[in-house]
Structure 1
Amino acid sequence: MSKKVFITVGTTKFDKLIETIMTNDILKELSNRGYDHLILQIGASTIDPDCTPRCGIKKIEFFKLKPSIQEYMRSADLVISHAGAGSCLEALEARKHLIVVTNELLMDNHQLELAEQLGKDNHLYHCTCGDLLETLRVMDLGGLVPLAGDNSEKIARAIDRLMGF
């Protein structure tokens, strides 16, 4: 049975994440974990990803933006996302295994604080592009704790606190 990974950068431009995902090492590790179908949502990127099947990945597809990514989230077995609060919440509320990749180029990196807190609570894994491969190698998705109920308000308060509101 096909296992699908959905990668999202939201509306941002996070070329480094897309480039990292498309490396042979990452593709091989995803394949070793049983994934064989990638869908990349590349946002504002100007990259034109090579969608040639390789390294055990049988199908690779991409798009820039859609009115909703909900169907892609729902159909994914694993979500790899930028650290935007909306994308994180959408994946967690859909009860998806989630790896959040923070963008080190952001100056005011409140996204890192959010990812660290959700990681500390065992809701997700978080990393940078530089350590994504190691995260994939050591992750134990069975150890992740789903969000209980609708925690949007609780998480929104935590984000407000982190932002100083």
Structure 2
Amino acid sequence: MSVDEKKQLRLCFVTIGATAAFNSLISACLEPRFLESLSGAGYTNLLIQYGKEGKAIFDKITSEIKTTKKMELVITGFDFNHSGLDKEMGAAKGGPNDLQGVVISHAGSGSILHALRISVPIIVVPNPDLLDNHQVELAEELESQGYVVHGKLNNLPAAILESEELRKRSLGWPPVNSGRHGRAADLAGVMDEEMGFLD
């Protein structure tokens, strides 16, 4: 196969974060309907950061997928990357020889801001198992402002379609009305700005 004939990589990167288990997101991203929606949208790879507790469920479902049917979608996963997720987020962003993909993330502010800063479409899925869960409010607000797709565990295929629309109307981060604070280099600075805690 020549270089010209080689299929371009298009990655869907899923992260559940570093602190809380989110097995329902892992399962939702491995459902046949979701995998078919990814393939139908031209995705070639699915990479799942499943955390410490998610390996068993990831291994169980992917082994079932491999025995039931041949998938053109390459599915891989890992537990935790101590050096951060720059490489994985960058791969979802796509390069000169690859197509831009998507990030599906728990609704943790660090993961969301990382994807926004590199301008890769992001589907934010709140974890319903967390106590005092403010993730839904964050996902809804960022979606209302046009920055993310608020994904739901029971309807991720629709979120993939919505992410394609988001890509077309993508807004830059930080917002244009940020003034001098728009250059805040750290998470605390950006969050202060978004919450209106600036002088």
Q: TM-score range by the shorter chain?
A: 0.7 to 0.9
Write the distance in 2 (CA, Å) between the matches of 1:97 and 1:134. Answer: 14
Pick the aligned partner of 2:81 from 33, 48, 66: 66
The question of whether the paired residues in 1 share the 8 Å contact of 2:48 and 2:76 is answered with: yes
CA positional deviation for 1:39: 0.8
Structure 1: segments with no counterpart, 5+ residues: none
Structure 2: segments with no counterpart, 5+ residues: 1-7, 93-100, 175-181
Name the count of aligned residue pairs: 160
Q: What's 1:36 paired with?
A: 44
Q: Would you identify which runs of 4 or more consecutive aligned residues in structure 1 move more than 4 Å?
A: 149-152
Write the distance in 2 (CA, Å) between the matches of 1:159 and 1:83. Answer: 17
The question of whether the paired residues in 2 share the 8 Å contact of 1:28 and 1:56 is answered with: no
Q: What's 2:169 paired with?
A: 143
Write the distance in 1 (CA, Å) between the matches of 2:162 and 2:88. Answer: 25
Q: What's 2:158 paired with?
A: 134
Instruction: Compute the RMSD of aligned alpha carbons.
Output: 2.2
Deviations 1:70-116 (A, max 9, x none): 11001112100000111111111111110011112223111111111
CA positional deviation for 1:146: 2.4
**Relative to 1, partners in 2 of residues 1:101 and 1:54: Cα closer, same or farther, differing over 3 Å?**
farther
Where 1:147 maps in the other structure, the secondary structure is coil
- Give the structure-2-normalised TM-score: 0.72
Q: What's 1:23 paired with?
A: 31
CA positional deviation for 1:138: 4.0
Q: What's 1:155 paired with?
A: 191
- Identity in percent: 29
Where 1:108 maps in the other structure, the secondary structure is coil
CA positional deviation for 1:48: 3.1
Of 24-33 and 129-138, more deviation after overlay is shown by 129-138
CA positional deviation for 1:157: 4.7
Where 2:14 maps in the other structure, the secondary structure is strand
CA positional deviation for 1:15: 0.4
Question: Residue type matched to 2:108 in 1?
Answer: G
Larger CA Rg, structure 1 vs 2: 2
Q: Which structure shows the higher helix fraction?
A: 2
Question: Residue type matched to 2:144 in 1?
Answer: K
The question of whether the paired residues in 2 share the 8 Å contact of 1:93 and 1:147 is answered with: yes
Write the distance in 2 (CA, Å) between the matches of 1:160 and 1:47. Answer: 41
